[in-house]
């Protein structure tokens, strides 16, 4: 079975890479060991957002009188919430299956391993082992590795899938726990914390770093901690889980605090949300001579590994572990192959990793792109910072969601848009404006002179910019 391009993995990086390669006229195969759409569509991005939406609907019902509507007796049906989430994921996976057929891409189900001897420019081979034990060899001129990542396991936090779980188990628990200890306050941790807390589970977050969502701007961390405290979620920062005891009915976790003292926390379930590791084992990297560094595959600006003709994208490579970053890398890899084969008339523009937006879908939502205030100062910029609280937003007041703010950072000398950080209702829908503006090298002057519709949450971008220059109207 000979192909021009073989893609290993069908997640949000792999399937766009396969489609773009097919669009360029290549014969393409995609190899998937589990379900089309990968972790994102089946166990990550999509089903978690379905869970979050159910939690938000229940929150609305609990506070319906704030909107002049009386709702009585509303209760979450945990199993129905889980079932809806799985249904959404299944629908999206079937959508990817349709796209593969539409673009005439062969789908090969099984576990892939790059064969030894694929380090040459021609004749690369991938061994595929099916679940039924049947093996086959697939040949191709180019390979794109898109094997993604999985939940990181700590030695002192061994997951048993029942009492100490990862994100996959958190999406299909057979019954709602009365209490949950979430270890880690990144996107996965705070999203699940919101879902379970809103439905009545007592949630405590333990974070190793000094603040929650530690990669975000410090002001965003402070606001999330404040809002989660209002929601009843306890957050312990500068703390580590030293050990867990699962011998009883629940879990007892020994937590070491900043001052060195320890406390034992009890919960029905411990959710480990301490990041991800790349899926690079047993896929033939060493045999093919593909270099890795710190557990990720080394790539150049066009996603090509040190072995000509073999590319890698997404969570198995350096930089942000984000679905949209993986998708862009996949398209770039396909287009660079097209350029090499004279099917694409120019080299693709390399990914700007400094302009990849990050979104966290808790409530309130978090969205950011570019420099934080601290990073901008560290980089040597003289900056202007503007902040617009949603408390002053007419749209936010009408929606009953006045939590949070837009914070925007400019270079004081030239007005260059360095970064923006948002926390509030629907801010994940607003951050694209900043990404596009930064891509276009937009200045504060241009943001101020672009008319933003009223009333909208997105007015906050203009108002925060005005605040940075002492021109704010509504605050």
Q: Which residues are catalytic?
A: 454
3-state secondary structure (DSSP) of residue 402: coil
- 8-state DSSP, 443: B
Report how far residue 144's alpha carbon sits from residue 120's, in angstroms, rounded to the nearest whole number: 15
Long-range contact set of residues 286-295: C-beta below 8 Å, sequence gap at least 24: 287/114, 287/115, 287/116, 287/118, 288/114, 288/115, 288/116, 288/118, 288/119, 289/119, 290/114, 293/318, 294/318
- Write phi, then psi, for 396 (nearest 5 degrees): -65, -40
Report how far residue 434's alpha carbon sits from residue 404's, in angstroms, rounded to the nearest whole number: 17
Q: How crowded is residue 162: how many other Cβ atoms within 10 Å of its Cβ?
A: 12
Find where tokens 């990297």 sit.
285
Report how far residue 25's alpha carbon sits from residue 344's, in angstroms, rounded to the nearest whole number: 10
Q: How crowded is residue 338: how many other Cβ atoms within 10 Å of its Cβ?
A: 23
Query: Which whole-number Å values give the CA distances from 270 to 75, 105, 237, in the listed order?
Result: 24, 41, 17
Report how far residue 365's alpha carbon sits from residue 224's, in angstroms, rounded to the nearest whole number: 9
């Amino acid at each position: 079975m000979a192909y021009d391009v073989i893609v290993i993995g069908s997640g949000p990086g792999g399937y766009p890479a396969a489609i773009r390669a097919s669009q360029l006229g290549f014969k393409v195969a995609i190899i998937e060991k589990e379900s089309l759409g990968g972790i994102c569509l089946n166990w990550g991005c999509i089903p978690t957002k379905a869970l979050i939406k159910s939690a938000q609907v229940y929150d609305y019902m609990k506070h319906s009188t704030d909107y002049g509507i009386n709702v009585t007796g509303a209760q979450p049906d945990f199993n129905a919430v889980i079932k809806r989430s799985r249904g959404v994921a299944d629908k999206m996976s079937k959508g990817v299956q349709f796209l593969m057929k539409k673009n005439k891409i062969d789908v090969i189900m099984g576990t892939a391993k790059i064969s030894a001897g694929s380090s040459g420019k021609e004749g690369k081979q991938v061994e595929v082992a099916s679940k039924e034990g049947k093996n086959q060899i697939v040949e191709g001129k180019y390979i794109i590795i898109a094997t993604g990542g999985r939940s990181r396991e700590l030695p002192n936090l061994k997951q048993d899938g029942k009492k100490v779980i990862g994100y996959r188990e958190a999406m299909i628990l057979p019954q709602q726990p009365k209490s949950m200890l979430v270890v880690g306050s990144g996107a996965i941790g705070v999203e699940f914390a919101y879902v379970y807390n809103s439905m009545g589970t007592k949630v405590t977050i333990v974070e190793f770093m000094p603040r929650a969502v530690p990669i975000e701007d410090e002001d965003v961390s402070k606001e999330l901690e404040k809002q989660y405290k209002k929601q009843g979620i306890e957050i312990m920062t500068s703390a580590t889980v030293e050990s867990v005891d699962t011998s009883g009915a629940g879990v007892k976790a020994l937590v070491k605090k900043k001052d060195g003292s320890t406390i034992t926390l009890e919960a029905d379930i411990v959710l480990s949300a301490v990041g991800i590791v790349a899926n690079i084992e047993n896929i033939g990297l060493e045999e093919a001579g593909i270099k890795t560094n710190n557990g990720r595959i080394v790539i150049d600006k066009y996603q090509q590994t040190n072995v000509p003709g073999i590319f890698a994208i997404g969570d198995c490579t350096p930089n942000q572990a984000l679905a949209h970053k993986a998708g862009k890398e996949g398209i770039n890899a396909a287009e660079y192959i097209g350029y090499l084969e004279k099917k694409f008339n120019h080299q693709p523009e390399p990914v700007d990793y400094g302009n990849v937006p990050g979104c966290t879908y808790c409530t309130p939502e978090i969205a950011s792109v570019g420099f934080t205030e601290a990073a901008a100062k560290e980089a040597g910029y003289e900056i202007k910072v503007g902040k617009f609280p949603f408390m002053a937003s007419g749209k936010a007041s009408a929606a009953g969601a006045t939590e949070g703010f837009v914070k925007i950072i400019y270079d004081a000398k030239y007005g260059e848009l360095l970064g923006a950080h948002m926390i509030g209702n629907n801010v994940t829908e607003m951050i694209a404006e900043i990404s596009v503006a930064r891509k276009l090298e937009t200045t504060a002057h241009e943001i101020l002179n672009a008319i933003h519709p009223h009333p909208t949450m997105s007015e906050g971008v203009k108002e925060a910019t005005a605040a940075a220059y002492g021109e704010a109207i509504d605050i």
